[in-house]
Amino acid sequence: MDIILILNNIIGKKNVLLDTDCRPYSQDWTGKYISTPLAVVKPASTLEVSQVVRACYENEIVIVPISGNTGLSGGTSANNAVMLSLERLNKIQKIKIQSRVAIVDAGVILSNLHSAVEEFDLVFPLTFGAKGSSMIGGVLSTNAGGSNVLKYGNTRTLCMGLEVVLPDGRVLDLMSELHKDNTGYDLKDLIIGAEGTLGIITAAVLKLSPRPVVYTTAMIATSSLGNALKVLNILQKKTGGGVEAFEYMPKNYIETHLTKVPNSRPPFDKFYDVNIMLEIASTTVSDSILSITGESVLSESIEEILSQLLTSGELLDAVIAQSESQRIEMWERREASAEITITNEPLIITDVSVPLEKITIFLKKMDTIIQQIDPGSRELTVAHLGDGNIHYAIYPTKFDEVLFDRLTNRLEEVTHELGGSFSAEHGIGLSKKKSMERRKDPVALEVMRSIKMGLDPKNLMNPGKVLPDP
């Protein structure tokens, strides 16, 4: 208990949680990973984080960072460890309008940042269903993706600089606001996506973009995913790359959504196999002007394009949101995916990525394979179609670790054969360590272990995550 007394002295007894007070932090969002931390500490500054980490380092106590705890891979499991919560490091330090950057603490909630920069007609474009609780430190640590990667890129692309507390308590200042800095290794990109195994992110410099003056959001149906990608390319060409989201929801997803979400409505008057939510945005003021019909110039233009695609047969149906409430309804249908996927049934969560032209092949192969291995099992798919990221949930017929591993292994094989990745945006955590061992290049793993050992020789910073056991 000496470490508890030390922590009390550093951040105050009320910010060191013990026993039952740790329960809200001890279970991840999926409910699959439950742990018993030694304590949960809530520092309020980089200095306090540094002092806490230094104390744990000197006393050889494992430390596990936690942000909004919205992860799906077990990355915050913390048995007999000091869990360090970033929730009190929650200040938006500065918004630089001319430079279009935001300097923020790692505990800032994503949706709060959205609201703060909106006041200046700017956006931080990263968005996904858990935006109301996820924190900047967490999205950086997992290199989160979301629905707007198609236009803006992953979190790594949106970050210019970091402040990081290393495993021994030293503070690494990488808080650059430069667009060009060619001075040695890019340590920032090393920390992003490391899931807290190399250090704790305490602050970041984030890129902002001009806030679009007008959006056009629609649901479209096509006869195939191949046709959907053809439609995407047509829209990108005709809008100058204005497509921000292109989200695939198959028929069984729509049916599941209607069953599980009260007062939800189907997107069309009939059911289609391939349903896409698309959103196109423009920062050009003239696109926001309302015509005599009451529609924006952008919406009229998109309506004309969609009409042409309906006539030519590339589209089967299309519905454009006529109000903000209808736009929100379309987004909520897509962003409910995590809630309607997570159940008490046997479940394997995956988030693979494959080349765009091979998405159909992946889905057909996997649908066949899961029935061959486990007849009666089922799947639920939703995808960021524009960047090839497929969330393919498998519901086996029973809880059986051998069966789970067999299904996961075959999914990895198919993904690998198609030139894809077994992890697109959820991270590795605990859930994909076997996948890392089976699929990651052995030399890459060797280099990763060397980096981990170099920065964390005592193996105290979120150990047992990401890298397979040696």
Residue 1's pLDDT band, with cuts at 50, 70 and 90, is low
Q: Which CATH number fits domain 214-338: 3.10.20.600, 3.30.70.2190, 3.40.50.720, 3.40.47.10?
A: 3.30.70.2190
Amino acid 377: pLDDT: 96
How far apart CA 98 and CA 325 sit, in angstroms, is 32
Domain 2-85 top-level CATH class: alpha beta
**So where are the chain's domains?**
2-85, 92-210, 214-338, 343-433
Residues 292-299, mean pLDDT to the nearest whole number: 89
What confidence score (pLDDT) does residue 290 get?
87
Distances from the Cα of 292 to the Cα of 50, 214, 289, 296, 300, angstroms: 60, 17, 10, 9, 11
pLDDT above 90 (res 228): yes
Task: Please provide the CATH number assigned to the domain covering 92-210.
Answer: 3.30.465.10
pLDDT tens-digit map of 451-465: 999 999 999 999 999
Could you tell me the CA-to-CA distances from 4 to 13, 15, 51, 59, 182 in Å, in that order? 9, 11, 13, 11, 43
Q: How many Cα atoms within 13 Å fall on the side-chain side of residue 385?
A: 29
Distances (CA, A) of 441 to 160, 434, 450: 28, 13, 14
Q: Inform me whether the pLDDT recorded for 112 exceeds 70.
A: yes
* pLDDT reported for residue 439: 94
Please identify, in words, the CATH class of the domain defined by 343-433: alpha beta
Q: Is the pLDDT of residue 27 over 90?
A: no
Nearest Cα residue to 411 out of 441, 391, 397, 385: 391
Residue 74 has pLDDT above 90, yes or no: no
Indicate left, alpha or beta for 202 from its phi (over 0: left) and psi (-120 to 50: alpha): alpha
Query: 265 pLDDT exceeds 90?
Result: yes
Strands 389-395 and 209-210: unpaired
Residues 6+ apart with CB under 8 A from 269: none
Mean predicted lDDT score pLDDT of the chain: 95
Task: State the average pLDDT over residues 307-311.
Answer: 97
Residues 6+ away with beta carbon under 8 Å from 161? 174, 175, 176, 177, 188, 204, 205
| C-alpha of 196 from chain center | 15
Under 8 Å between Cβ of 208 and 159: no
Judge whether 2-85 and 92-210 match in fold: no
Q: What single DSSP character describes residue 136?
A: H
Give CA–CA dist 302/239, Å, rounded: 9
Question: Can you tell me the distance from the alpha carbon of 425 to that of 375, in angstroms, rounded to the nearest whole number?
Answer: 29
The percentage of the chain sitting over the pLDDT mark of 90, rounded to a whole number, equals: 91
| Mean pLDDT on 383-412 | 96
Per-residue pLDDT at 193 exceeds 90: yes
